[in-house]
Amino acid sequence: MAFPYAEIENKIGYVFEDKALLKEAFTHSTYANAHGGKDNERLEYLGDAVLQLVVTEWQYKDDERASEGELTRERQLLVCEDALYEAVQELNVKGYLLVEGSRANVGKKTISSLFETLIAAIYLDGGYAPAKSFILRYGRLRALTKPQNPKGELQEYLQKRGEEPPTYESKKTGKDNEPTFYCVALARGRSATGEARSKRAAEQIAAEKLLQILKNED
């Protein structure tokens, strides 16, 4: 079965010149050992460094009053496993991971590392600018550092216009110890989807997307 390059590129918003880098980003060591080729471990190492730089630069410019200690603690939250896992979930690309054996053995760390391997692949293919753009677009920066309530903001937005409040439809998949929640937010005949490890987070992501859609229409 051919590797779905175009499908992934559409989801991540970047088209590769060197397609081999994209495939390498999704190649787990078990798959490389069984079928040959490069695994993504070296990309993960490079991606971590690029991520640290971009996040640090963003912090430095975003909050001029924070101390070094505050910035360090905040950065730990921005680049931690949970943050990267949420980013991969939002991109909905974990299913493309090439792994040998049962996918049930693929843990959270392996999934979260895909964000770093994609960063590195984009960096090697196109340079710092597109890698930075990818991180700022899909990283969980604002969501983790700024108090947000997209569900509340969406409801308030609709109320001010005399419209019906939004509704949410959710479903749960996966194992009990590592579930995935899918949510659809609906309002004004429009809808948006969210995917996360908790129902609340999935609803917030869906609400945030739907709010942006409605704002673009008004």
Active site residues: 48, 116
CA neighbor of 91 nearest in space, from 203, 6, 207, 196: 196
Half-sphere exposure of 129 (CA within 13 A, CB side): 1
Of 37, 35, 1, the closest CA to residue 22 belongs to 37
Q: Is 11 exposed, middle or buried (0-12, 13-18, 19+ CB in 10 A)?
A: middle
> Contact 201/172 with Cβ under 8 angstroms?
no
CA-based nearest residue to 169, from 156, 157, 187: 187
Task: Tell me which H or E stretch contains 144.
Answer: helix 141-145
